[in-house]
Amino acid sequence: MAVSAIERRNAYAASSAGGSPLGAVAGLGSGSARDLGLYTNLITSAIGLSPRRAQQLKTAGLDHVQISIQADEPALSDRIAGTPSYDRKIAAAHLVKELDWPLTLNVVLHRHNIDRIGRILDLAEGLGADRIELANTQYYGWAWRNRTALLPSRAQLDQAEEIVRAARQRLEGKMEIIYVIPDYYSKYPKPCMGGWGQRQLTVTPNGNVLPCPAAHTLDLPRATVRGHSLAWIWGESPLFQRFRGTEWMPEPCRSCDRREVDFGGCRCQAFQLTGDAARTDPVCHLSLDHQIVAEAVQAANEGAEPVEADLIPRAYTVRRS
Protein backbone atom coordinates (compact mmCIF):
# COMPACT_ATOMS: atom_id res chain seq x y z
CA MET A 1 0.00 0.00 0.00
CA ALA A 2 2.69 2.46 0.93
CA VAL A 3 4.79 1.96 -2.18
CA SER A 4 1.78 2.30 -4.47
CA ALA A 5 0.95 5.63 -2.89
CA ILE A 6 4.54 6.78 -3.33
CA GLU A 7 4.37 5.86 -7.00
CA ARG A 8 1.25 7.95 -7.50
CA ARG A 9 3.26 10.90 -6.23
CA ASN A 10 5.97 10.19 -8.82
CA ALA A 11 8.66 9.33 -6.32
CA TYR A 12 11.64 7.61 -7.91
CA ALA A 13 13.60 6.01 -5.14
CA ALA A 14 13.08 3.89 -2.06
CA SER A 15 15.79 3.66 0.57
CA SER A 16 15.95 1.44 3.57
CA ALA A 17 17.91 2.45 6.64
CA GLY A 18 17.70 1.59 10.33
CA GLY A 19 15.28 -0.82 11.93
CA SER A 20 15.62 -4.14 10.13
CA PRO A 21 16.69 -2.92 6.70
CA LEU A 22 18.12 -6.12 5.34
CA GLY A 23 14.81 -7.90 5.72
CA ALA A 24 12.77 -4.89 4.65
CA VAL A 25 14.62 -4.44 1.37
CA ALA A 26 14.31 -8.09 0.47
CA GLY A 27 10.56 -7.60 0.70
CA LEU A 28 10.62 -4.36 -1.25
CA GLY A 29 12.72 -5.74 -4.06
CA SER A 30 10.81 -8.92 -4.68
CA GLY A 31 7.39 -7.49 -3.88
CA SER A 32 6.79 -4.31 -5.74
CA ALA A 33 9.51 -1.63 -5.73
CA ARG A 34 11.22 -2.82 -8.91
CA ASP A 35 7.88 -3.51 -10.59
CA LEU A 36 6.93 0.11 -9.90
CA GLY A 37 10.16 1.40 -11.38
CA LEU A 38 11.60 2.46 -8.04
CA TYR A 39 15.36 2.49 -7.51
CA THR A 40 16.12 0.63 -4.27
CA ASN A 41 19.02 1.58 -2.05
CA LEU A 42 20.15 -0.29 1.03
CA ILE A 43 21.77 2.02 3.58
CA THR A 44 23.49 -0.21 6.08
CA SER A 45 26.22 -0.62 8.69
CA ALA A 46 26.85 -3.89 6.80
CA ILE A 47 27.39 -5.77 10.03
CA GLY A 48 24.65 -8.24 9.10
CA LEU A 49 25.38 -8.41 5.38
CA SER A 50 26.41 -12.05 5.07
CA PRO A 51 27.14 -13.60 1.65
CA ARG A 52 23.85 -15.52 1.86
CA ARG A 53 21.86 -12.39 2.68
CA ALA A 54 23.60 -10.39 -0.01
CA GLN A 55 22.78 -13.01 -2.62
CA GLN A 56 19.11 -12.96 -1.51
CA LEU A 57 19.03 -9.19 -1.93
CA LYS A 58 20.65 -9.46 -5.33
CA THR A 59 18.05 -11.97 -6.43
CA ALA A 60 15.30 -9.76 -5.02
CA GLY A 61 16.42 -6.92 -7.27
CA LEU A 62 18.17 -4.50 -4.92
CA ASP A 63 19.85 -1.79 -7.00
CA HIS A 64 22.45 -0.14 -4.79
CA VAL A 65 24.24 -0.49 -1.45
CA GLN A 66 25.60 2.21 0.84
CA ILE A 67 27.88 1.14 3.68
CA SER A 68 28.91 3.33 6.57
CA ILE A 69 32.51 3.27 7.72
CA GLN A 70 33.98 5.23 10.58
CA ALA A 71 37.71 5.39 9.71
CA ASP A 72 40.39 3.83 7.55
CA GLU A 73 41.94 1.65 10.21
CA PRO A 74 40.41 -0.95 12.54
CA ALA A 75 41.20 0.37 16.04
CA LEU A 76 39.86 3.88 15.46
CA SER A 77 36.89 2.65 13.41
CA ASP A 78 35.86 0.19 16.11
CA ARG A 79 36.32 2.77 18.84
CA ILE A 80 34.06 5.27 17.05
CA ALA A 81 31.52 2.58 16.15
CA GLY A 82 31.50 1.38 19.76
CA THR A 83 31.75 -2.23 18.59
CA PRO A 84 34.21 -4.38 16.63
CA SER A 85 32.90 -3.95 13.10
CA TYR A 86 35.65 -2.69 10.78
CA ASP A 87 36.63 -6.10 9.38
CA ARG A 88 33.00 -7.03 8.65
CA LYS A 89 32.39 -3.71 6.88
CA ILE A 90 35.43 -4.16 4.67
CA ALA A 91 34.40 -7.75 3.87
CA ALA A 92 30.90 -6.52 3.02
CA ALA A 93 32.28 -3.80 0.73
CA HIS A 94 34.23 -6.47 -1.21
CA LEU A 95 31.07 -8.58 -1.37
CA VAL A 96 29.09 -5.69 -2.83
CA LYS A 97 31.62 -5.23 -5.61
CA GLU A 98 31.81 -8.98 -6.26
CA LEU A 99 28.04 -8.98 -6.78
CA ASP A 100 28.43 -6.05 -9.15
CA TRP A 101 26.39 -3.53 -7.19
CA PRO A 102 27.28 0.15 -7.24
CA LEU A 103 28.92 0.91 -3.89
CA THR A 104 28.67 4.12 -1.89
CA LEU A 105 30.67 4.57 1.29
CA ASN A 106 29.31 6.96 3.85
CA VAL A 107 31.68 8.44 6.40
CA VAL A 108 30.43 10.71 9.15
CA LEU A 109 33.26 13.10 9.93
CA HIS A 110 34.16 14.73 13.23
CA ARG A 111 37.27 15.75 15.08
CA HIS A 112 38.28 12.13 15.79
CA ASN A 113 38.55 11.10 12.14
CA ILE A 114 38.59 14.22 9.94
CA ASP A 115 42.39 14.44 10.04
CA ARG A 116 42.49 11.01 8.33
CA ILE A 117 40.33 12.06 5.40
CA GLY A 118 43.12 11.44 2.87
CA ARG A 119 43.59 7.86 4.07
CA ILE A 120 39.81 7.34 4.09
CA LEU A 121 39.71 8.40 0.45
CA ASP A 122 42.56 5.98 -0.33
CA LEU A 123 40.58 3.19 1.33
CA ALA A 124 37.48 3.99 -0.70
CA GLU A 125 39.50 4.01 -3.91
CA GLY A 126 41.08 0.69 -3.00
CA LEU A 127 37.67 -0.85 -2.37
CA GLY A 128 36.45 0.30 -5.77
CA ALA A 129 33.74 2.55 -4.35
CA ASP A 130 31.76 4.40 -7.00
CA ARG A 131 30.88 7.18 -4.62
CA ILE A 132 31.87 8.42 -1.19
CA GLU A 133 29.89 10.71 1.02
CA LEU A 134 32.10 12.56 3.48
CA ALA A 135 29.47 14.13 5.66
CA ASN A 136 30.45 16.18 8.67
CA THR A 137 28.35 15.40 11.70
CA GLN A 138 25.16 17.38 12.10
CA TYR A 139 24.58 17.91 15.78
CA TYR A 140 21.28 16.29 16.62
CA GLY A 141 20.44 13.53 19.05
CA TRP A 142 23.49 11.65 20.27
CA ALA A 143 25.84 13.79 18.21
CA TRP A 144 24.52 16.81 20.10
CA ARG A 145 25.20 15.10 23.42
CA ASN A 146 28.76 14.47 22.21
CA ARG A 147 29.19 17.84 20.54
CA THR A 148 32.15 18.96 22.64
CA ALA A 149 34.06 15.82 21.69
CA LEU A 150 33.02 15.83 18.03
CA LEU A 151 32.92 19.37 16.65
CA PRO A 152 36.09 19.97 14.58
CA SER A 153 38.08 23.16 14.57
CA ARG A 154 38.19 25.59 11.65
CA ALA A 155 41.80 24.52 10.93
CA GLN A 156 40.76 20.87 10.67
CA LEU A 157 37.96 21.76 8.25
CA ASP A 158 40.23 23.90 6.09
CA GLN A 159 42.76 21.09 5.78
CA ALA A 160 40.03 18.53 4.98
CA GLU A 161 38.58 20.74 2.26
CA GLU A 162 41.97 21.09 0.63
CA ILE A 163 42.45 17.29 0.57
CA VAL A 164 38.94 16.78 -0.86
CA ARG A 165 39.58 19.36 -3.60
CA ALA A 166 42.75 17.57 -4.69
CA ALA A 167 41.09 14.13 -4.55
CA ARG A 168 38.18 15.33 -6.69
CA GLN A 169 40.62 16.35 -9.40
CA ARG A 170 42.62 13.15 -9.17
CA LEU A 171 39.58 10.83 -9.12
CA GLU A 172 37.34 12.66 -11.58
CA GLY A 173 35.31 10.16 -13.59
CA LYS A 174 36.35 7.32 -11.30
CA MET A 175 34.79 8.05 -7.93
CA GLU A 176 32.24 10.71 -7.03
CA ILE A 177 33.12 12.59 -3.85
CA ILE A 178 30.42 14.34 -1.86
CA TYR A 179 31.65 16.57 0.96
CA VAL A 180 29.28 18.19 3.44
CA ILE A 181 30.54 20.80 5.92
CA PRO A 182 29.05 20.99 9.42
CA ASP A 183 26.27 23.54 9.37
CA TYR A 184 27.64 25.10 12.58
CA TYR A 185 30.29 26.67 10.30
CA SER A 186 27.77 27.96 7.77
CA LYS A 187 26.26 31.43 7.64
CA TYR A 188 22.84 30.04 6.73
CA PRO A 189 21.12 26.81 7.70
CA LYS A 190 20.59 24.00 5.24
CA PRO A 191 17.15 23.52 3.68
CA CYS A 192 16.50 20.47 5.81
CA MET A 193 14.95 17.68 3.69
CA GLY A 194 14.36 20.30 0.99
CA GLY A 195 11.66 21.79 3.21
CA TRP A 196 9.23 20.11 5.61
CA GLY A 197 6.81 17.93 3.66
CA GLN A 198 8.05 19.25 0.31
CA ARG A 199 9.87 16.32 -1.28
CA GLN A 200 10.52 13.40 1.01
CA LEU A 201 8.96 11.17 3.60
CA THR A 202 10.24 8.34 5.76
CA VAL A 203 8.20 5.26 6.64
CA THR A 204 9.73 3.68 9.75
CA PRO A 205 9.63 -0.08 10.36
CA ASN A 206 6.65 0.28 12.71
CA GLY A 207 4.59 2.16 10.09
CA ASN A 208 5.05 5.70 11.36
CA VAL A 209 5.48 8.28 8.61
CA LEU A 210 7.84 11.20 9.17
CA PRO A 211 8.79 14.30 7.18
CA CYS A 212 12.39 13.56 8.15
CA PRO A 213 13.98 10.61 9.95
CA ALA A 214 14.64 12.69 13.10
CA ALA A 215 11.16 14.23 13.38
CA HIS A 216 10.11 11.63 15.93
CA THR A 217 12.00 13.78 18.47
CA LEU A 218 9.39 16.53 18.12
CA ASP A 219 6.20 16.70 20.14
CA LEU A 220 3.83 16.51 17.18
CA PRO A 221 0.79 14.39 16.24
CA ARG A 222 1.72 10.96 14.96
CA ALA A 223 0.92 9.73 11.44
CA THR A 224 0.96 6.03 10.64
CA VAL A 225 0.17 3.86 7.64
CA ARG A 226 -1.61 1.56 10.08
CA GLY A 227 -4.33 4.20 10.37
CA HIS A 228 -4.30 6.23 7.15
CA SER A 229 -3.24 6.08 3.53
CA LEU A 230 0.12 7.52 2.62
CA ALA A 231 -1.65 9.97 0.33
CA TRP A 232 -3.72 11.36 3.23
CA ILE A 233 -0.70 11.55 5.50
CA TRP A 234 1.28 13.45 2.88
CA GLY A 235 -1.49 15.80 1.86
CA GLU A 236 -3.62 16.37 4.92
CA SER A 237 -2.16 15.06 8.17
CA PRO A 238 -1.47 17.67 10.88
CA LEU A 239 2.11 16.35 11.11
CA PHE A 240 2.96 17.12 7.49
CA GLN A 241 1.04 20.41 7.51
CA ARG A 242 2.72 21.74 10.67
CA PHE A 243 5.86 23.28 9.12
CA ARG A 244 5.01 23.10 5.45
CA GLY A 245 5.38 26.33 3.44
CA THR A 246 6.08 29.67 5.10
CA GLU A 247 2.94 30.53 7.07
CA TRP A 248 4.23 29.01 10.31
CA MET A 249 7.44 31.06 10.28
CA PRO A 250 8.41 33.56 12.97
CA GLU A 251 10.55 36.63 12.33
CA PRO A 252 13.21 37.04 11.05
CA CYS A 253 12.33 34.19 8.62
CA ARG A 254 8.84 35.45 7.80
CA SER A 255 10.15 38.57 6.06
CA CYS A 256 13.49 37.12 4.87
CA ASP A 257 14.35 36.74 1.17
CA ARG A 258 15.70 33.25 1.84
CA ARG A 259 12.53 31.85 3.41
CA GLU A 260 11.80 29.68 0.38
CA VAL A 261 15.46 28.77 -0.04
CA ASP A 262 16.25 27.27 3.36
CA PHE A 263 12.75 27.19 4.90
CA GLY A 264 14.07 28.54 8.20
CA GLY A 265 16.47 25.63 8.59
CA CYS A 266 16.01 22.44 10.54
CA ARG A 267 13.03 22.06 12.88
CA CYS A 268 14.73 19.32 14.88
CA GLN A 269 17.83 21.46 15.40
CA ALA A 270 15.70 24.44 16.44
CA PHE A 271 13.95 22.23 18.98
CA GLN A 272 17.18 20.65 20.17
CA LEU A 273 18.88 23.98 20.80
CA THR A 274 15.98 26.20 21.94
CA GLY A 275 13.23 23.82 23.08
CA ASP A 276 10.88 25.28 20.44
CA ALA A 277 10.67 23.62 17.00
CA ALA A 278 9.00 26.72 15.55
CA ARG A 279 11.96 29.05 16.10
CA THR A 280 14.51 30.01 13.46
CA ASP A 281 17.32 27.44 13.24
CA PRO A 282 20.07 28.90 15.49
CA VAL A 283 22.69 28.06 12.86
CA CYS A 284 21.46 31.11 10.91
CA HIS A 285 23.49 34.19 11.72
CA LEU A 286 20.21 36.17 11.73
CA SER A 287 18.59 33.93 14.34
CA LEU A 288 17.84 35.49 17.72
CA ASP A 289 19.37 32.32 19.20
CA HIS A 290 22.54 32.24 17.08
CA GLN A 291 24.71 32.82 20.14
CA ILE A 292 24.14 29.17 21.13
CA VAL A 293 25.91 27.98 17.99
CA ALA A 294 28.54 30.72 18.02
CA GLU A 295 29.63 29.71 21.54
CA ALA A 296 29.96 26.04 20.54
CA VAL A 297 32.12 26.98 17.54
CA GLN A 298 34.27 29.24 19.69
CA ALA A 299 34.82 26.43 22.20
CA ALA A 300 35.84 24.03 19.40
CA ASN A 301 38.52 26.47 18.26
CA GLU A 302 40.04 27.31 21.61
CA GLY A 303 43.50 25.77 21.99
CA ALA A 304 45.73 24.69 19.14
CA GLU A 305 45.22 20.92 19.46
CA PRO A 306 42.00 18.94 19.04
CA VAL A 307 40.33 18.15 22.35
CA GLU A 308 40.28 14.42 23.11
CA ALA A 309 37.09 14.05 25.08
CA ASP A 310 35.36 10.79 25.81
CA LEU A 311 32.44 9.77 23.63
CA ILE A 312 29.09 8.84 25.16
CA PRO A 313 27.81 5.86 23.15
CA ARG A 314 24.15 5.23 22.49
CA ALA A 315 22.96 2.20 24.43
CA TYR A 316 21.81 -0.66 22.24
CA THR A 317 18.06 -1.17 22.56
CA VAL A 318 15.71 -3.53 20.82
CA ARG A 319 12.96 -1.49 19.20
CA ARG A 320 9.48 -2.88 19.03
CA SER A 321 6.64 -1.52 16.98
Give contact residues for ligand SF4 (rule: CB under 6 A).
Answer: 188-189, 252-253, 256, 258-259, 262, 264-265, 280-281, 284, 286
Contacts of 145 (CB under 8 A, 6+ apart): 312
Contacts of 92 (CB under 8 A, 6+ apart): 44, 46, 49, 54, 67
Q: Give the shortest CB-195-to-ligand SF4 separation in angstroms.
A: 11
Residue pair 47/38 in contact by the 8 Å Cβ criterion = no
Q: Give the shortest CB-161-to-ligand SF4 separation in angstroms.
A: 23
CA–CA separation, 236 vs 177, rounded Å? 38
**Nearest-CA neighbor of 13 among 35, 38, 37?**
38
Residue type, 289: D
Q: Give the shortest CB-281-to-ligand SF4 separation in angstroms.
A: 5
Closer Cβ to ligand SF4, 163 or 270, answer by number:
270
Closer Cβ to ligand SF4, 94 or 199, answer by number:
199
Q: Give the shortest CB-138-to-ligand SF4 separation in angstroms.
A: 15
Closer Cβ to ligand SF4, 21 or 189, answer by number:
189
- Parallel/antiparallel/unpaired status of strands 39-44 and 64-69: parallel
Closer Cβ to ligand SF4, 104 or 280, answer by number:
280
CA–CA separation, 277 vs 248, rounded Å? 11
Closer Cβ to ligand SF4, 245 or 252, answer by number:
252
Residue type, 32: S
Closer Cβ to ligand SF4, 189 or 197, answer by number:
189
Q: Give the shortest CB-266-to-ligand SF4 separation in angstroms.
A: 10
- How many other β-carbons are positioned within 10 Å of the β-carbon of residue 279? 21
Closer Cβ to ligand SF4, 18 or 252, answer by number:
252
Q: Give the shortest CB-264-to-ligand SF4 separation in angstroms.
A: 5
Closer Cβ to ligand SF4, 293 or 296, answer by number:
293
Q: Give the shortest CB-256-to-ligand SF4 separation in angstroms.
A: 3
Output the DSSP codes for 150-187.
HPPPHHHHHHHHHHHHHHHHHTTTT-EEEEE--GGGSS
Would the CA dihedral through 301, 303, 305, 306 be positive or negative?
A: negative
Q: Give the shortest CB-187-to-ligand SF4 separation in angstroms.
A: 8
CA–CA separation, 144 vs 26, rounded Å? 33
CA dihedral 133→137→140→145, nearest 10 degrees, is 140
